[in-house]
Structure 1
Amino acid sequence: MKSVELFTGAGGLAMGTAKAGFHHLALVERDKHSCYTIRENQQRSNNAASNWRLHQMDVADFDISTIGKEIDLLAGGPPCQPFSIGGRHGAHLDERDMFPQFFRAVRELRPKAFLIENVRGLLRQNFINYFEYIILQLTHPEVLLNDNESWIEHVARLERHHNGAVPDDLEYKVTYKLLNAADYGVPQKRERVFIVGFRSDLNINWSWTEPTHTEEALIWDKWVTGEYWERHSIPSSARPDCNPKLRARLQKTGASLLGSMTAPWRTVRDAISDLPNSHAASSIPNHIYIPGARSYPGHTGSPLDEPAKTLKAGVHGVPGGENMLALPSGEVRYFTVREAARLQTFPDDYYFPCTWGESMRQIGNAVPVNLAYIIASSIYNHLQFVTANKKIVNAV
């Protein structure tokens, strides 16, 4: 199935959708460092990025008519700074708001489906009206903003249109959800908003994939069966104590935990324990120790035996605390680029050629590959089912 991706970054979402079966006709990204990372990987013969068609330019300058084919999926993560809790909170007033460009792409490409990822700040109360506008414009992409019309006037008109009885030539069934990547096997507590739309004429009834991993199952593995520690060959004498509050919680919820059919949340240790000590020389690409880490209030690093805190790109450079490992000994150190890439579920053959800071920025901005794959696979399967049924009907 054919796809186009806007605001590609270093390729996390693109890799996940490609893994799900989508073939990228075009990837658009203006950041030269992210494009350099993708091109570097394209030169590696066994890398998934080898056949990606990359356009280094602003999405606003991309001529969508050059695609010239029916598109199954349009994907992308419009810049999150206008909505990020760590950003300027400008939303529609921020010149970096690129949602209008995504609306344009939906109108011109008429994809069967689209997939958008953005920060959880998009759901902040003071942005809620603009978020409603985003959903309505995605639902009715051909109800255009008029000259000299504000987005507030436009959303009122969209609401009237949405509640009317006149069908659109191009309309989408749109749904959104705040997902925690840890609930889907990513070793990182990372909450992001995902928006999915299917073209209404396809009559697809789609729902979000249920979580596959839970914190409760991890607690059970640690403090009831001990399987977590045994799996990592941690002797009883080196295991942390189960605190009284947690013990009380286990006693209260033990029955439900015992019946849980989900896998345990994956931890930092699960993700990186097979990598060599980062202090030692390593032949593994991107696995290089960076000195100088320190803990300070609000930046205490990610515990080894929990999913990592959200890796972030930072507004003014890389925030050290979110990219730091807190060891049981009380020591802290920076994650290597390879460790951070694993926390975002990039495969080990995906190489980050830039400096530590720039690579960590790209990784922090990325969509976890495995989460992108899970969502894109569900979209792919539903589109494939519709396509197969259409072929059967045409044959009859």
Structure 2
Amino acid sequence: MRAIELFAGAGGLGMGISQAGFRPAQVVEWDRWCCDTIRENRKAKVGGIGHWPLPTEGDIRAVDFRRHEGNIDLVTGGPPCQPFSLGGKHRAHADARDMWPEAVRVVRETRPRAFVFENVKGLTRASFATYLAHIVHQLTYPELTPLPGEAWLDHMVRLERHHTAKGSSDELRYNVVYRVLNAANYGVPQRRERVVFAGFRADLGIEWSFPEETHSLESLLWEQVRSGDYWDQHKVAKRHRVIDARLHARGLALAEKPQTAAWLTVRDAIGDLPDPEREPELAAACLNHRFQGGARSYVGHTGSPLDEAGKTLKAGVHGVPGGENMLRRADGSVRYFSVRESARLQTFPDAFRFHGSWSEAMRQLGNAVPVQLAHAVGKNVARHLVAA
């Protein structure tokens, strides 16, 4: 099945989608460092992207997608999320970085059988509710474009009227659903919440829902508090078994073992890697695994405990160098995650190389979709498209 990957970044979403059985016909990204990352790993055939076309590097607004019309099964991407980030200035539709109109344009020009777009959880804030509805209506009726000079609220009114009227049977329309997904519930060692939009062309008659969650915090607490299996597996001495008091109480309250798998922790993800601060020579043998100094803990930025799912890796002024992309050891000391450790938390393969400085590579990772989460959603979409 053929796909188009927009706003590709370092390739996390596209990689997971490719692993689910889609072959990209075009990959678009404006950032040169991200494009360098994709080009090198494509050449090395890492992560299943060896078959990708070379990325189209540049402004998506200058790219014409009409040559793909009728030949694309899936369009995916993460329109730049700064206008909606919980750490940003919340300018939303007034922000020139808002690329949702371009995502809608690509759907309109290619008429794919389905699309999957993702964004930060902040898009679901109450203050953005009207614009969120505007996005959903645009994705539902991508051919109902804004009129010249029309304000977005006026366009919203036209979309609402069209939605409640009897539409044309031959119009391009998509059945759209969205949900906030926590990556930890799908086998990612990180508590990372993203809002995911999925749409299927209405003429296909596909009934779809988001994939069931496979992992849970309750299962992890059962293994840590009730059975002790987690600690035994990692050979952690009793004196080093540190767990938050509230989580410990929650674990004690569990009456029976949950059926889901346990959340993966930071220790699960990076426990086999040498500590780049304490074992620099051993760490040097690992790709992108170098110590970065300067980490410090302060209110609101205390790092990720070793035996919990990691906190959300971040990019921008509130991530690097803001202080949250850190490991918090059992003794309370902190250090920044290396690029390789961060890649593990985002479920990138170990052979995947990130271009640029530490801060640049961490920016790429902070903006990425975990590969495992993308694969879980993409696999479910692929199954329904094959059956249609």
TM-score, normalisation: structure 1:
0.93
Name the stretch that deviates more: 275-284 or 321-330.
275-284
5+ unaligned residues in a row in structure 2: which ranges?
none
2:308 pairs with one of 306, 309, 328: 306
* Residue 119 of structure 1: aligned partner: 120
1:329 corresponds in structure 2 to: 331
Deviation of 1:319 (Å) = 3.3
**Amino acid across the alignment from 2:35:** C
The aligned counterpart of 2:7 is: 7
Q: 1:316 Cα shift?
A: 7.1
Q: Distance in 2 between matches of 1:248 and 1:286?
A: 38
- Alpha-carbon distance, 1:67 to partner: 3.2
1:266 and 2:264 correspond: yes
How many residues are matched? 382
In structure 2, the residue matched to 1:51 is 51
Alpha carbons of 1:68 and 1:285: their partners in 2 closer, same or farther (altered >3 Å)? same
Report the residue type matching 2:114 in the other structure. Answer: A
Corresponding residue number in structure 2 for 1:356: 358
Write the distance in 1 (CA, Å) between the matches of 2:2 and 2:244.
Answer: 50
Q: Which runs of 5+ in 1 are unaligned?
A: 387-396
2: CA distance, partners of 1:331 / 1:218: 24
- The amino acid that maps onto 1:161 is H
Question: Which sits farther off after the overlay, 159-168 or 316-325?
Answer: 316-325
Question: What is the alpha-carbon distance in structure 2 between the residues aligned to residue 277 and residue 316 of structure 1?
Answer: 25
CA distance in 1, matches of 2:125, 2:301: 23
Task: Report deviation, 1:68.
Answer: 5.5
- Letter matched to residue 15 of structure 1: M
When structure 1 is superposed on structure 2, of 311-320 and 141-150 the one drifting more is 311-320
| Distance in 1 (alpha carbons) for counterparts of 2:244 and 2:360 | 39
Matches within 5 A, 1:149-188: 149-168=150-169, 169-188=171-190
Aligned pairs for 1:134-149 (under 5 A) are 134-149=135-150
1:198-217 map, 5 Å: 198-217=200-219
SS in 1 for 2:82: coil
Alignment deviations for residues 1-50 of structure 1 (CA, whole Å, 9 cap, x no partner): 00001100110001000010100000100011111111121221455222
Q: Does the Cα contact within 8 Å between 2:69 and 2:111 map onto a contact in 1?
A: no
**In 1, are the aligned partners of 2:225 and 2:252 still within 8 Å (CA)?**
no
Residue 385 and residue 241 in structure 1: after superposition, are their counterparts in 2 closer, same or farther (change >3 A)?
Answer: closer
Q: Kindly report which structure 2 residues correspond to 1:1-396, keeping only aligned pairs within 5 A, or say none.
A: 1-53=1-53, 54-67=55-68, 70-168=71-169, 169-240=171-242, 243=245, 245-246=246-247, 248-252=249-253, 254-255=254-255, 257-258=256-257, 260-279=258-277, 280-281=280-281, 282-315=284-317, 318-386=320-388
Whether the 8 Å contact between 1:182 and 1:307 is mirrored in structure 2 is yes
1:91 CA displacement: 0.8
For the residue of structure 2 that corresponds to 1:370, the secondary structure is helix
CA distance in 2, matches of 1:25, 1:213: 33
2: distance between equivalents of 1:319 and 1:171? 43
Aligned partners of 2:221 and 2:250 also within 8 Å: no
Are residues 9 and 327 of structure 1, via their aligned partners in 2, closer, same or farther at CA, if it must alter by over 3 Å?
Answer: same
The CA deviation at 1:247 is 5.2
Q: CA deviation at 1:238?
A: 2.2
- In structure 2, the CA distance between the partners of 1:123 and 1:65, relative to structure 1 (3 Å rule), is same
Distance 1:178 1:131 in 2: 13
Do the aligned partners of 1:10 and 1:366 also contact (CA within 8 Å) in 2?
yes
Change (3 A) 1:69 1:158: closer
1:266, distance to aligned residue in structure 2 (A): 0.5
Whether contact under 8 Å (1:312, 1:319) holds in the other structure is no
The alignment's TM-score, normalised by the length of structure 2, stands at 0.95
8 Å CA contact 1:317–1:357 kept in 2: the answer is no
Separation (CA, whole Å) in 2 of partners of 1:300 and 1:242: 13
Cα deviation for residue 231 of structure 1 reads: 0.6
Structure 1, 31-40 or 366-375: larger mean CA deviation: 31-40
- TM superposition shift of 1:320: 4.2
The CA deviation string for residues 339-381 of structure 1, in whole angstroms up to 9 with x for no partner, is 0000000011111131100000000000000000000000001
